[in-house]
Structure 1
Amino acid sequence: MEKPHILAIPYPFQGHVLPLMQLSLKLVEHGFKVTFVNTEAVHKRVVSAFSEEDNVEELINLVSVPDGLDPEEDRNDIAKLTQAMFRVMPGELEQLVRDINRADDKITCIIADETMGWALEFADRFKIKRAAFWPASAALLALKLSIPKLIQDGFVDNDGNVLRSEMFTLSTSMPVMNSKDFAWTSAGDSNAAKIMFRIFEGTNRTVKLAERIISNTSYELEPAALSLFPEILAIGPFLADNRLGKSSGSFWRADASCLAWLDQQPNQSVIYVAFGSFTIFDQKQFHELATGLEHTNRPFLWVVRTDMMDGKSEDFLKIFKVRIGQRGRIVGWAPQQAVLNHPAIGCFLSHCGWNSTIEGVSNGVPFLSWPYFADQFLNQTYICDVWKVGLALDKDETGIITRGEIENKVEKLLNDKTFKQRALIYQEMVISGAQESGCSNKNMSNFIQWIKY
């Protein structure tokens, strides 16, 4: 019997590519052939970030298609990129599938990021098995699926503009949300927000074509959201049962030398600071963060991307590195799974992206939360209010998180052992869910059987 052949299509951003590649590698372990379709721009970044010992290209067929933008255009403009992709990629994908099928290696199942709804339409048209992949929290998908009710209840208008800025909840057991922090409202300017809202609305229609909706979450983390929408199958977190594994699919090559530095630090002493692939700081905020870390008088590992700051901050950073000496370590990108699993880590100062959130929880690490945009505010609610494994950093009246705020919250978090105790409880819950008798593992097994038969 030939191996079932899966075509995996992520949305072309770090937080989407990474978990779908982890899922793809897991499916390869179960005897599937996987062709992974990135945009050309993302494909180059992912392949160039592989380490020398990485064998992903031997396990998965990595291919690319155009995204509809010129090489020099800004791919951080989410709305513009998404519109271009929806215009160009359906035709490119159809040609790709025809070429693969002609080689007598027929695609048997398409797993597409839920945001790439056009791919589910394509799979339906060609009578190929189809699954929608959701890389974020089930609560965010529940919010998205509730857009018609949000319009009906007067929270937003037909363009997604917020009409009622207030706290609310989708059900009595769901986390409380703030309508001003809806994921689409922070996508950029009002036009970008409107475009993203339209895409969200459109994929609410196309997701109905999916025969399975799978999510990188667990029942232990989100029982209320998964009960509200039982069609969402929790099969994650993918890294919970392999916490020392490499995070293949990163856009940057990780600097693993920081692990040797961590080996020299006392247990639970290091502040790990990482803001994902999108967060950008102005000069004042960057300086406040650096000075706040310095004033804690604790060791810290800080991930500073080259595109995270302006030129003046680069000059400041050079002086700062000399000032802190060996007490702090600054890298361009870190092997986050291995870092969070290291016994020296005391807390995680995070932007609260979903991947970072569940990686921190899977490793029993308490959080200092500093959300930037999209779903990160909702994830902060889970961290601070639902699971109670972290503290939020609060802005002052000018919108800055000050050095004093950073210093005070670090001390409060690390001196109160209940945060670590709760983090370890959730770690155990998540890991047990991914093991043989756990809910995520059972859902994954059922999903695999569905693809095969």
Structure 2
Amino acid sequence: MDSELIMDQKKPHVVFIPFPAQSHIKCMLKLAQLQHHKGLHITFINTESNHRRLIKYGGLNDVPGFQFKTVSDGLPATSEDGVEPTQTTMELSLYLLTSFHDSFLDLVSGLENRPTCIISDGFMTFTNIMGAAEKLKIPVVLFWTMAACGYMAYYQSKVLMDKGLIPLKDESYLTNGYIDTLIDWVPGMENVRLRDLPEYILATKPDDMALNWVLGVARLADQVSHMIIHTFEELETSLIKEIKSVVPNVYTIGPLQLHLNQITEKQVNNSNFNRYSLWEEEPECIQWLNSKEPNSVVYVNFGSLAVMSLQDLLEFGFGLVNSNHYFLWIIRTDLVDGNHIVFPQELEEAVKDRGFMASWCAQEEVLNHLSVGGFLTHGGWGSVTESLTAGVPMVCWPVSHDQRVNCRQMCKEWEVGMEIGKNVKRDEVEKLVRELMEGTNGEKMRKKTLEWKKIAEIATGPYGPSSLDVDKLVNEIGVLSRN
């Protein structure tokens, strides 16, 4: 028998294409797992390096009805010194820009069972996935693995360009107050400023490559009739209504983990989905948390891509120590830009007394641990939604992409977070961590977060709007398979 899974020709077959980054892959894997549980066949396409990492650290492999396929990312399996080679997101994107289209066509054309539809990450349209799908005569559904506000923040690049508000006239517009202008024409985002949009949008030249990449993503979003957003309707009611007025079919299916929690343990184990990580998750984190009192620990993690200066790292370190609260701090080996991480002896000794440091962890398990009472985060949507569903309030230090608008919404609309200024100061870190863990405002945010957690559980429960949208999407794919 061919090593490729033989699939029941009568069942719908969905091809998933994530943007090749940790949070995107994790989110799309969860939707793929959920659809697989509901009877759909899945082909999940990763880059070769990411697939190797998923096998090594996530333990994922093919199971009946769910197969993984790969496209090249231009990297060898190992380097000459035996270390796994890496590349920046920009390097990978430039490679995929020229190579993905043809590789994808060859891959899909060779599948045993013709796909019913393609669910593509909204950010993968730069690879001309729409053109490939047209050649294959397979419909495309775009999946935005972010909040509705995150999607709309990117979409505003097109609107701002049409209004003549970007590109900025010159660099002075970044500091003269112009970027504090409110984007007040989007329902549900009335408190969002220009400065809260993805940094690529605030370019000063019309030929800026990053700006034009964002514009391309926004314009191609207009070409689809079906769109999935990883949010839940009650969280972003006005904004979702606005998006539905433009896109005929919008499915708000989040939070995905709450759907998966309802699948029995036996079913989860049989599906071979237990972890979704591209890095080794250190179990010592949980062992350390087990020794701490309820709500006594601040969890600190700036995600899989954020990079900071060594000075910023030290300011965070001193601020955390001075707050006099226990903290679990995830410090990736590549977190600091261009520097080895060396702590002053004073800070190193203080961290040993109050903190625990690791390079990666099982984040959802950490956030749901009884000892965790607050989350210091970069505000990536994966982290925000996982914190909301765990009932953990946040302090946010947004770095890039949709993190800025997520931070604005969590502080101003959802009332579950506080923002740290861009220029990190230890006194501010100390003050906000203390407020988060023991202050009146922190207590209000904790209550509000628990309210959102309950609303999210209702949304993903029987007859909840997210559950209904998941079923509606599955049924729509089933209709396509019969056409």
Fold shared, TM-score > 0.5 on shorter chain: yes
Tell me if 1:94 matches 2:105: yes
1:327 aligns with 354
Distance 2:148 2:164 in 1: 23
2:68 aligned counterpart, secondary structure: strand
Tell me if 1:206 matches 2:220: yes
Runs of 4+ in structure 1 displaced over 4 angstroms?
Answer: 68-74, 158-164, 189-193, 242-247, 310-313, 317-322
Distance 2:168 2:351 in 1: 52
The 8 Å contact of residues 22 and 248 in structure 1, kept in 2 or not, is answered as no
- Cα shift at 1:33: 1.6
The 8 Å contact of residues 4 and 107 in structure 1, kept in 2 or not, is answered as yes
Equivalent residues in 2 for 1:219-258 (5 A)?
219-230=233-244, 231=247, 232-242=250-260, 248-258=275-285
Which TM-score applies when normalising by structure 2?
0.84
Tell me if 1:65 matches 2:76: no
Aligned counterpart in structure 2 of residue 270 of structure 1, from 280, 297, 311: 297
Tell me if 1:444 matches 2:459: no
- Cα shift at 1:243: 5.8
Deviation string, structure 1 residues 247-300 (Cα, Å, up to 9, x no partner):
733221211221121111111110000000112222211111111111112111
1:111 aligns with 119
Look up the equivalent residue of 1:177 and give its one-letter code: V
- Cα shift at 1:387: 0.7
Cα distance 1:310–1:77, how it changes in 2: closer, same or farther (>3 A)?
A: closer
Tell me if 1:420 matches 2:446: yes
Equivalent residues in 2 for 1:118-197 (5 A)?
118-157=128-167, 164-165=178-179, 166-185=181-200, 194-197=208-211
Look up the equivalent residue of 2:450 and give its one-letter code: L
Cα distance 1:77–1:242, how it changes in 2: closer, same or farther (>3 A)?
A: closer
For structure 2, the 5+ residue unaligned runs are 1-8, 80-84, 263-267
Equivalent residues in 2 for 1:289-438 (5 A)?
289-309=316-336, 313-316=340-343, 320-325=347-352, 327-395=354-422, 399=423, 401-414=424-437, 415-416=439-440, 417-438=443-464
Cα distance 1:383–1:192, how it changes in 2: closer, same or farther (>3 A)?
A: farther
Look up the equivalent residue of 2:351 and give its one-letter code: I
The 8 Å contact of residues 258 and 457 in structure 2, kept in 1 or not, is answered as yes
The 8 Å contact of residues 109 and 451 in structure 1, kept in 2 or not, is answered as yes
1:253 aligned counterpart, secondary structure: coil
2:87 aligns with 75
Which TM-score applies when normalising by structure 1?
0.89
- Cα shift at 1:150: 1.1
RMSD: 2.9
1:13 aligns with 21
Distance 1:192 1:159 in 2: 10
- Cα shift at 1:318: 8.2
Percent of aligned positions that are identical:
26
Distance 1:95 1:160 in 2: 45
Deviation string, structure 1 residues 62-114 (Cα, Å, up to 9, x no partner):
22112357888973243x532331221010000001111xx3x2222111111
Distance 1:445 1:217 in 2: 16
Distance 2:303 2:198 in 1: 16
The 8 Å contact of residues 21 and 248 in structure 1, kept in 2 or not, is answered as no
Deviation string, structure 1 residues 131-164 (Cα, Å, up to 9, x no partner):
1111112123223334333123232139999795
1:12 aligned counterpart, secondary structure: coil
Cα distance 1:175–1:43, how it changes in 2: closer, same or farther (>3 A)?
A: farther
Tell me if 1:260 matches 2:287: yes
For structure 1, the 5+ residue unaligned runs are none
Look up the equivalent residue of 1:106 and give its one-letter code: R
1:84 aligns with 95
Distance 2:169 2:132 in 1: 27
2:325 aligned counterpart, secondary structure: coil
1:116 aligned counterpart, secondary structure: helix
Look up the equivalent residue of 1:212 and give its one-letter code: H
Deviates more, 1:143-152 or 1:223-232: 143-152
Deviates more, 1:166-175 or 1:352-361: 166-175
User: How many residues are treated as equivalent by the alignment?
Assistant: 441
Cα distance 1:284–1:303, how it changes in 2: closer, same or farther (>3 A)?
A: same
1:293 aligned counterpart, secondary structure: helix
Distance 1:207 1:171 in 2: 17
